[in-house]
C-alpha cells in the first residue's frame, strides 16, 4: 500500500515506537534522550484531506537520558517543569505527500507555549503483523530552538559558549496500528 492510499484511524504503538531528542552538551558532544510514555492517534481519508486529525501527547516526566540527576534536572522548573506542565502535545493541522515522504504540519506545545512546525516523515511501508493488525511505519525528525518554548536555562562555559545547545533535534520512529 502506498502512502497516498492510506485511509482510516491509526493509533501509535508505544512498545514499537520511539520519541527521542538530541542536543549538544558543553558544545563538544551530543546528549541523547527519549520519552518512555506517549500516545498518539491519526485519522486520514485518502479522498478527503480536510478530514485529517492528529493528536500526540508526551508525558515529559518520562524523560530518560540514562542519567538520573540529569533527568531530574530536565523535569524541574529549569526545563520542562513537569509538575506544572506534565505533557507536551503535537496537534496536526495538515499534511502534504511528496513521494514517500509525508510532511505533517501542526502545533507543538511545550510549557504552555505553542509553535507551528512541519515534520517530514519518511514512509516505511505497511505490513500485516502475526496478530492480523495492519501496521504503518514512519520516521521523521525536526530541529527546534528550545528557547522558543521557554526552555532557557543554561550555564556559561569558561571557554566560551554554553553548557546546553539551544538547538534540539526531535526524532520519531513510529509504528501505528490501523483500527477496525
Measuring CA to CA, how many Å separate 168 from each of 21, 22, 33, 91, 100?
A: 7, 6, 11, 19, 25
| pLDDT above 60 (res 72) | yes
Instruction: For residue range 94-107, list pLDDT tens digits in order.
Output: 999 999 999 999 99
Q: Is 60 helix (H, G, I), strand (E, B) or coil?
A: helix
| pLDDT above 90 (res 46) | no
**CA nearest 174: which of 144, 143, 135, 132?**
135
Q: Is 75 helix (H, G, I), strand (E, B) or coil?
A: helix
Q: Which residues of 56-93 are buried (b: 16+ CB within 10 A; e: fewer)?
A: bbbebbbbbbeeeebbeebbeeebbbbeebebbebebe
**CA nearest 106: which of 119, 88, 125?**
119
Count of CB atoms situated within 10 Å of the CB of 136: 23
How much is the average pLDDT of 62-71? Answer: 95
User: Residues near 164 by Cβ (< 8 Å), separated by ≥ 6?
Assistant: 23, 24, 25, 146, 153, 154, 155
pLDDT score recorded for residue 142? 97
Mean pLDDT of the chain: 91
Instruction: For residue range 96-147, list pLDDT tens digits in order.
Output: 999 999 999 999 999 999 999 999 999 999 999 999 999 999 999 999 998 9
Amino acid at each position: 500500500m502506498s502512502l497516498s492510499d492510506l485511509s482510516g484511524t491509526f493509533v501509535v504503538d508505544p512498545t514499537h515506537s520511539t520519541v527521542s531528542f538530541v542536543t549538544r552538551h558543553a558544545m563538544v558532544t551530543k546528549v541523547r534522550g527519549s520519552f518512555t510514555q506517549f500516545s498518539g492517534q491519526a485519522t486520514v481519508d485518502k479522498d478527503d484531506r480536510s478530514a485529517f486529525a492528529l493528536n500526540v501527547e508526551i508525558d515529559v516526566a518520562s524523560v530518560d537520558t540514562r542519567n538520573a540527576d540529569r533527568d531530574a534536572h530536565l523535569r524541574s522548573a529549569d526545563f520542562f517543569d513537569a509538575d506544572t506542565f506534565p505533557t507536551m502535545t503535537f496537534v496536526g493541522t495538515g499534511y502534504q505527500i511528496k513521494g514517500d515522504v509525508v510532511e505533517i504540519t501542526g502545533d507543538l506545545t511545550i510549557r504552555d507555549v505553542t509553535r507551528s512546525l512541519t515534520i517530514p516523515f519518511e514512509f516505511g511501508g505497511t505490513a500485516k503483523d502475526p496478530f492480523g493488525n495492519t501496521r504503518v511505519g514512519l520516521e521523521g525528525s525536526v530541529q527546534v530552538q528550545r528557547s522558543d518554548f521557554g526552555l532557557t536555562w543554561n550555564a556559561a562555559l569558561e571557554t566560551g559558549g554554553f553548557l546546553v545547545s539551544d538547538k534540539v533535534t526531535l526524532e520519531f520512529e513510529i509504528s501505528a496500528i490501523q483500527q477496525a
